[in-house]
Amino acid sequence: MVDVIRFSANLGFLWIDRPLPDAIVAAAAAGFDAVECHMPYSYDPTEISTVLRQVGLPMVGMNTDHAGPEFGLAAVPGREVEARDHIDKALAYATTMGCPNVNLMAGRTGRAPGSENAYRSNLAYAAERASAHGCTLLLEPISTNAIDGYHLNLVGQAMDAIKSTGADEVKVMVDCFHTHDMEGDVLTAVRTLGDRLGHIQIAAHPDRGEPDAGDLDYTNLLPAIMESGYEGFFGAEYRPRGDLEAGLTWMNRWRQTREMS
């Protein structure tokens, strides 16, 4: 059982002023244990894989393409062909890059008629393809206050969709910021998932800055999540309040805890 808390730098939010390979190097230098990203598709995956090996960090997660106004297509009725192209592209890229998790972006639907049927159909397709690639598919509930009209907002909605597939390759990613915003009790949500918990992301609430302020007490929450059985990384997906490097002091207490253990 993993007994130390490990952090992954989300390079969709951190070091966004530089190319992805350089951001990976910066994350390693800053002391992160892993990296994750949003859409790495403008880079050759073999190049990214090479950089990861050089710095000794794993890439633990990435998203399906969500560059359009829909913020993903998996739940958008009538866009199934494009959605499945995004799925195939992401899984092929992840496999080449050595990334074990792909976040299936649902899109903005407002949960309109037909959207849940489209979502579950595309999810079943994605789960089958993920199994073939040896990847885990992640579903991330996102707050309506962050992305208006996003299809998937609650942990329960994600679990209902997963049950419709019955696939072991599909799990839930709990972004503490979004889950707290929508449901309040992050720890209870995490505990209800059991072995369906795939990944955790962290940021302060409500400003989404470094996870050392606000109304989410990560000092107690992170150990409690670990005690519930979670052994993965905690993805630092926050927007720096000021200088990124200076703001990394939030990790100091966790480093000190690790040194004392």
The one catalytic residue in 70, 116, 140, 210 is 140
- Strands (DSSP E) contained in 51-190 are 62-63, 101-103, 136-139, 170-175
The one catalytic residue in 36, 70, 169, 237 is 237
Whether 169 sits among the annotated catalytic residues: the reply is no
- Is residue 203 a contact partner of residue 240, using CB atoms and an 8 Å limit? no
Q: Distance (Å, rounded) from C-alpha 191 to C-alpha 32? A: 26
Whether 245 sits among the annotated catalytic residues: the reply is no
Helix pair angle (155-165, 186-193), 10° resolution? 10
The secondary structure of 101-140 as a DSSP string is EEE--B-B-TT-TTHHHHHHHHHHHHHHHHHHHT-EEEE-
Sequence-separated (6 or more) residues with CB below 8 Å from residue 256: none
Active-site amino acid positions: 140, 237
